[in-house]
Structure formats: structure tokens, C-alpha cells
Structure 1
Amino acid sequence: MALDSNENSDKSIHKFESMLKTDDVYFFDAEDFEDIIHHYLNNGKVSLGKKAIQFGLQQHPHSVELKLLHVEVLVFEDKFEEAGKWLDELQNIDSHNEEIYVQRANIQSKLDNHKKAVELLQQALELTDDSFDIHSLLGMEYLFMDDYEKAKLSFMRCVEFDDRDYASLYNVVYCFEFMEDYDGAIRYLNDYLERNPYCEVAWHQLGKMYFSKQMYQEALAAFDFAIISDDSFLGAYFEKGKVLEKLGKYREAIDCYETTIEIDDPTSHAFLRIGKCHEELGNDDLAKYYFYNTVHEDPLLDKGWLAITEFYFRKKQYKKALHYINKAINIDGENARYWKKCAEIYSALKNFDEADFAYKQTVDLGNFELDTWKNWVTVLQKTADFNTAEQVLLQAIEFYPEEAILYYQLTLVYLASDKPHEARKKLKSSMELNAEMVTHFKTDLMKYNRFSWITAIFADDKKASA
């Protein structure tokens, strides 16, 4: 595994690069070659790393460490068979070298055989006291296997080895978060902060966990401590702004977002949040200004285009809303959120044919939300395309088999299609799921009062009111 280069290797690297520019061949210790190779691999200069390995093995053909670095490059390049042969040779020489098992594990991991990779890494653990990196690799393998509990424990071991291993700390919190164990994450981070009270990363993560539990005052305090620990920590200011928004303190939230812009280059996310705050404060001109800055800063940020579109949509300026959602679709025509909003705008403009097309695009792109299906059917009913409405509802019911409203809608579609037998069966299913909802469809159902089984449903209501 490649290690960080150090200052002592600079001279060797300079000497090696001088050698490459001339026909001279310089001699290096095996350890010097290791430093040179680590430097190039860590900096993504694989071709130079390979040259250093080649020269290194010529000068030190029996160096196990150089051979292992050669194997690492072979694995990186997916040359597993050749790497395996080298590892077999190395294992005959030094069967107790944990790095041999680590590289075998890397091969199995790249072949998606994560269970075998875990077994090999556990064998490596038995051979070394310096197990920090191996626990980190184990954690990643468990993540690949979706075993978040074991992954969490592996990354916890890494943090035990090194309190400053923030990558592992983030991974621990990620595992807690994925398992929705926010209380566990809060306990873990508080314990960590007992030992490291000025760790801005831990305070930041603690604030996010409190935010997830809607414990906004506690989140606010955590982000404040993160800022006290590092007053240039952008993430803490940004997250604090989100908490203040939740508390309705929009002016204070704006201050936080503006601080992030003062500390570093402006970001589209900061502009968007400032715009949202101004919108809440009724500062429409400022809201528009920041929304436009959002998409100027990042034209691919869907939330920016949607914010502008929603701004005009709420003001019932549907043509302007349509203009901006179409600009967004021209940039990213595969974005289901854009098409859904486009469909809503066309519906508001009573352009139902275009709304139908937009809803179809929405579903084709993977948006299967309940209101998407419901609103699409409403549009199809407006165009009297009852055959398509029936197919859409049958598909929706596959996703939401317990949603009574879909059965009621299908009942009306069958009635409009002159299929009273199917309509009666679906109405029965609707009422079995939610009998009270029938009152919401009374007006539409009573248009078909020629059917006694419909009038009978509301006859009881008349008697009760009498």
C-alpha cells in the first residue's frame, strides 16, 4: 500500500528524475526506490512509478517490498493473473508478510468477491500489529457487502488508532446514518468530543445528526462549537444557516450563507439558500437576483432552475415559469424533476396534450411518486383518453396497491369508458380500502346516477341528514 512521501525523499526524487533525463544510471538504496515509487503512485504518476519499479528491481532483484509495489501496480491495472503469479512467488519467500494477503484481497475486491476479500484481510490482521490500514480496507469491504454494522466497527477501530483519521470518522457516522441510528451516532460523537473537544469535524457531524432528529437548538449549539474550533469552516456556517432557516430566522441564516461567500469563492448552493431566505422574507427582487446568480454559477444545478420556475409558478406567471423550465430541460433533458414541473405548468395553462407528454417523460425517467400518477390521470381524463388513463392507473396500482384514491380514479375511468361492471368492482375495492374517501368523489360519481349501485351509496347519507 502506498505511503505518504516525506521530505527526506525529495532529494532522491530529484536525483531519479535527473537520471531519466540523461543516459547515466545512478544507484539507489531499496528504501530510496520505495520512497520514489510511493511519491509517484500517491500523486497519480503511475508511468513514472512503473519506471522506478523497473529500475528498482534491476538494482535490487530480491527486494520483497519492491516486488509488492510491482504487484500493487499490476492490480491497479487489472492484471490479476500476472499479479497472482508474483504473489505466489512472494508467499514462498515470505509467507508471513501481511501485504501479500492485502494485495490478494485487493484482487478479490476488484473481482467483486468481497466475502473472500474479507477473509484474506482477516488473515492479514493475524500477521501484523500495525493494522490501521487493514481495518480501513475491511470497513470498505463491509460497505460493499452492505454490512453497515461491521463496517462501522472497522472504521471505529481506525479512529481508535488515530483520532485525526477524519475519513474513518466520517465513515463511522455514515454507517450510523444509513442504519438511521441517529441516537447511536450522537452518543459516539459526544464520546469522541470528550477526548477531542476542539475537533470541528466531530462538532459538524454532531450538528448534522441533531438536525436529522429535528433537535434544532442542539444542532445550532454544535455548529457554533464547530465554528469556535475553526472559524473558517465553511460547512459549519452553511449547516448553521439551514438550522436557522428551520427556526424561521431568515436574516441570521443569510448572514451565515454570506459568511461562506466571504471566506471562499461563492457557490451556487449558497446563492440558492440566500434566495430562498429572501423569498420567505418577501424580498422578491432579491430572491430573483440570487436565484439567477445560482444558475449563473452552476447551470447544471437543478435546484436553481426549479427555484426560478417555482418562483414564477407561485405567482401564477405560468408562461415565465414555462420559459425557465424549458431552459432547464434543454440543459438536462434526462432530469425527471424538470419534466414533472413542466407537466404541472402545462396543466395550469390547460395545455393538456403537452402536460400528458411531460408526465410520460417524467415516469419514463423514473419518477414514480404517487402525485405524478394521480395528476397524469387527471390530465388524461381532461383529454378523454380513457384507455391510456386505465393503463396508467393499473401501472400506478402496482406501485401503490393500498392507495384507495387510485381505485376511485380507476372507477371513474371505467364509468367514462362505459365499463360499468369493472367500475362496480373497483368501487368496491376503493371502499374496502377507504370508505370515507367516497364523499370526495360524490359529484363525479353521481354523474352516473343511472346506476342504482351508485345512488345506493349516497342514499344512506340523505337519510342521515334528514
Structure 2
Amino acid sequence: MALDSNERPGQPIAKFESMLKTDDVYFFDAEDFEDIIHHYLNNGKVSLGKKAIKIGLQQHPDSIELKLLDVEVMVFENNLEVAERMLDELQLLDSSNEEIYIQRANIYSKKDNHEAAVTLLHKALELADDSFDIHSLLGMEYLFMDNFQLAKENFMMCVSFDQEDYSSLYNVIYCFEFMEDYDGAIYYLNDYLERNPYCEVAWHQLGKQYTAKKMLNEALASFDFAIISDDTFIGAYFEKGRVLEKLGRYNEAIENYETTISIEDPTSHAYLRIGKCHEKLHNDDLAKHFFYHTVHEDPLLDKGWLAITDFYYRKKDYKKALYYINKAINIDEENSLYWKKCAKINKALENYDEADFAYKQAVDLGNFELETWLSWTAVVLQCDDSESAFQILQQGLEFYPEEAKLWYAVTGVHLMLKQTVKAKKSFSKAIKLDADKLSTFEVGFPQFYQLDWIQDIISEMKRAS
């Protein structure tokens, strides 16, 4: 039995859900169905949205808006061919409906044809009375195309329509940051704050821009204003703590991190930062206490294990350091920094084979720092493997062909391989590149430093200078 809407007073959504629980059928206006469907889709309840579409089309079979919502769900579920056929039919009925172009644009976007999507969205803009959502979609399409300037302009339009559209505001700042236009971001945010002086989100973002420019006092003031605007804004306290750390004001930084813990459940990141501050203050027991709290709170936070590793490494307790760096590697074995740290610890423990393996892993994962090549060379030389040392240095020279330290090391390896002629050439190149780094050869290969021909080259260089 169909009931008139007046017989069951209440909001459309509550009434619709009541209908689903009974055998009764209630009548809704098409606009009510649109509101119900939007509610479910916006809250991720797609199955209920689909039920509302089905019932809505039974009651209003000619409603183009309900059919377009059906298309929207089809696109969301990647039923693109069906959606396109439905749009073809709808366009014959209403060719000036901007939603048809929006859904066609969504289909092209799903197919990674973002240029076509943009063209259709501009057509929708020509037809639309309310362009807010279209500018948001255009912004996202331009982001897909890496056109950050046009993306930024469209998200700015969204913010101009709705000053509390923080999602678009974040996207505007993201575009500024990607283009490394921190000054532009600062100008934009200050202008925004002229109109919205108590917007904690804008103050927070402004503080991050000042931090990026190393304008730390200005950053601190911005985070303070964010906290004044919302004294429960955890992100502002946390970022303020980071700035205070940079300024060496560690006790104040700790207070801000502790505030984040008092407002909400403790986080591993807050414990980690508190531990780092205590470490700077030489409160070793407290530092260790908070580092252990970090990994207890989140055993998968590899940075926590790394912090404990560094703590013991500085204490020269290399066995404990090795235990904890292995914990970090087990969590993220693709992190070249962890492998390099593992290599350094094994080197300190004189586990040269393990250090060799760890350096190889670090390089394979993209760590091409100069110090890596030099340390790796020193490790394999401890294993009396001069050939491998030479190969490692050759790889290093591909990245640093004019680095004197590498050429001094090549000289030493040539001499170990009894290749005197090659050694003379590499030593001459090294000393011409940087005579001031000669000490690295003297320290690394003291057994060769007093060779007559080496002393002759050094004397000749001194006379020439």
C-alpha cells in the first residue's frame, strides 16, 4: 500500500529507511530521492544509494536527474560502457544538462584521457549556474596532467566560492609547494587570513610555509595563532614543537608534544620527537625511555627502531645497535639508509663480510653518496679483496669523476695490485684536483705514503704553488 508523505511525517532519509524495514511503500518527490541518494553516496553507502535509485526510478521513470545519479554510480563502479550508452540516451532528451558533460568527463578521466575530460568540463562550465563542483573537478584533472598552475587557479575558484572549503585550500597550497613558490603561498594565505582571521587551517599552513623558508620566528607565531583559533588543533602543537626543536628550545618543544598526547591518544611520532629532544638535552635515560615507548606504541614504525639504533651507536654499544637496525630492516628492507647504517655498525664490529653485503644492498637501493663508496672500499680492503675495491671505486667515479678522495683511493688500490704506472697517473690526477685532501691518502694508505715517487710529486706540487 502506498502512503502519502503526510501520513508519515519526518525527514526523507529516516522515512526511506523506515520503508525499507517494512512492506509499506512510501511516495517521495523526485527531489527527495535526489537528497536521499546524495546522502548515501556521500557517506560511502553505495548499496543503499543504488536501492534509492531503483525505487526512485520506479516512482519517477522520466526523471533525468535520477537517471544521471544512476550513471554516476555506474561510472563509480567502472561500468563505463553502460554509463556511456545511458548518457547518449539522456543527451537526446536534454543536451543542455551540464551533469551529462560532467559524467562524460568522469568517464574520460577513468580512461586516463584527462585532456578530453578537461574539454568536457569546460563545456559543463558554460552550461552550469553553480560551477563550484566543476572547478574542483577541473583542479583534479589538471593535477593528473601535472599542470599545477591551472590546478591551483581552479582550486582558488573553489575557495572563493566557499571560504570553508578546506580540501580545496589544501590543494591550493599543495600546488604552491610543488612549484616551490613558498612566497606565493605566503601571500595567498595572508590574504585569505585577512578575511578569515580565525581559520586555524590557514594559520597552520602559513606556519609550514614559513618553516620551509627557514623563517622560524614567523612560523612560530603562525602556529601560535592556529592554537589560539583552536586550542585542540594537534597538528599546530606538533609543528610548533618541530620549530622549537630547530631553535634549540627543546624543553618548550617537549611541552608541545606532551600537549598533543594530552589532547588525544598518544602517538608514536610524539614519543619519538620527545625522545629526540631529551637526547639533545643529554637526558639519556629519558631519551631511551621515550624511544622504547615509540616502538611499543607502533612496532612497525621503522624510524623508532632507527632512533634506538642511533642511540646505542653513539654509545658505541654496537651489538645492541646491530640488533635494532635489523629490526628496522625487517620492517622496511627497501630503505637504503638502514642498510648503510647496518654496514657502518658491522664495520665497527669488524664483521667485514656482513658490512660488504650491507653496502651492496645500500647501493643497489640507490644510495650513491660519496662516503658510501669510500667506506665500502675500506671494508672490502679489510677482506684483502683489492679487485673488488677497484670495481667499487670505478662505480663511484661514474658519479663523482672529479672527486680527489676517490682518485687517492684508486691510487692506493693500484699500488696494492702492484700497478705502479696506473698509480702514478691516478695520484697525479688526485693531487691536481685537490692537494688539500692528500691527508686521506696518508691515513688510508700509510704504507705507500713515503714512496719516493709520491714524495717527488708532492714536492713538485709544492714548488709549483
TM-score in terms of structure 1 length? 0.90
Contact 1:446/1:455 (CA < 8 Å) preserved in 2? no
Matched with 2:65 is 65
Matched with 1:164 is 164
Matched with 2:200 is 200
From the superposition, tell whether residues 446 and 319 of structure 1 become closer, same or farther in structure 2 (CA, over 3 Å): closer
CA distance in 1, matches of 2:418, 2:105: 65
1:273, distance to aligned residue in structure 2 (A): 0.9
CA distance in 1, matches of 2:443, 2:460: 16
CA distance in 1, matches of 2:396, 2:98: 54
Contact 1:257/1:273 (CA < 8 Å) preserved in 2? yes
Matched with 1:3 is none
1:259-278 equivalent positions in 2, closer than 5 A: 259-278=259-278
From the superposition, tell whether residues 60 and 409 of structure 1 become closer, same or farther in structure 2 (CA, over 3 Å): farther
Contact 2:210/2:216 (CA < 8 Å) preserved in 1? yes
From the superposition, tell whether residues 452 and 82 of structure 1 become closer, same or farther in structure 2 (CA, over 3 Å): farther
Gaps of 5+ in 2: 1-8
Amino acid at match of 1:440: T
Amino acid at match of 2:214: Q
Matched with 2:253 is 253
Matched with 2:338 is 338
* Residue aligned with 2:26, SS: coil
Matched with 1:369 is 369
Matched with 1:81 is 81
From the superposition, tell whether residues 128 and 365 of structure 1 become closer, same or farther in structure 2 (CA, over 3 Å): same
* Residue aligned with 1:54, SS: helix
1:374, distance to aligned residue in structure 2 (A): 3.0
* Residue aligned with 1:51, SS: helix
CA distance in 2, matches of 1:398, 1:72: 54
Contact 2:53/2:66 (CA < 8 Å) preserved in 1? yes
Matched with 1:213 is 213
CA distance in 2, matches of 1:152, 1:287: 43
1:49-448 equivalent positions in 2, closer than 5 A: 49-420=49-420, 423=423, 426-427=426-427, 430=430, 433-434=433-434, 436-442=436-442, 444=444, 447-448=447-448
1:369, distance to aligned residue in structure 2 (A): 3.5
CA distance in 2, matches of 1:75, 1:85: 12
Contact 1:227/1:236 (CA < 8 Å) preserved in 2? yes
CA distance in 1, matches of 2:103, 2:426: 61
Amino acid at match of 1:145: M
Amino acid at match of 1:222: S
From the superposition, tell whether residues 464 and 403 of structure 1 become closer, same or farther in structure 2 (CA, over 3 Å): closer
CA distance in 2, matches of 1:449, 1:247: 45
Amino acid at match of 2:297: E
1:368-424 deviations in whole A, cap 9, x for unaligned?
334333322221222222333333333344444554433443443344334455555
CA distance in 1, matches of 2:22, 2:157: 48
1:244, distance to aligned residue in structure 2 (A): 1.1
Q: Please tell me the root mean square deviation across aligned C-alpha atoms, in Å.
A: 2.5
- Matched residues, percent identical? 69
* Residue aligned with 1:126, SS: helix
1:220, distance to aligned residue in structure 2 (A): 1.0
1:342, distance to aligned residue in structure 2 (A): 1.2
* Residue aligned with 1:28, SS: coil
Gaps of 5+ in 1: 1-8
CA distance in 2, matches of 1:172, 1:187: 12
1:26 aligns with 2:26: yes
* Residue aligned with 2:256, SS: helix
* Residue aligned with 1:61, SS: coil
Contact 2:428/2:457 (CA < 8 Å) preserved in 1? no
Contact 1:189/1:206 (CA < 8 Å) preserved in 2? yes
Matched with 2:38 is 38
1:145-169 deviations in whole A, cap 9, x for unaligned?
2111111111111111111111111
Matched with 1:6 is none
Amino acid at match of 1:106: N
Matched with 1:5 is none
1:87, distance to aligned residue in structure 2 (A): 1.4
From the superposition, tell whether residues 236 and 427 of structure 1 become closer, same or farther in structure 2 (CA, over 3 Å): same
From the superposition, tell whether residues 53 and 357 of structure 1 become closer, same or farther in structure 2 (CA, over 3 Å): same
CA distance in 2, matches of 1:303, 1:398: 31
Number of equivalences: 457
1:312, distance to aligned residue in structure 2 (A): 0.8
Amino acid at match of 2:74: L
TM-score in terms of structure 2 length? 0.90
CA distance in 1, matches of 2:399, 2:50: 53
1:21, distance to aligned residue in structure 2 (A): 3.6
1:460 aligns with 2:446: no
CA distance in 1, matches of 2:331, 2:268: 16
Amino acid at match of 1:189: L
Amino acid at match of 2:71: V
From the superposition, tell whether residues 203 and 449 of structure 1 become closer, same or farther in structure 2 (CA, over 3 Å): closer
1:330, distance to aligned residue in structure 2 (A): 3.2
Amino acid at match of 1:119: T
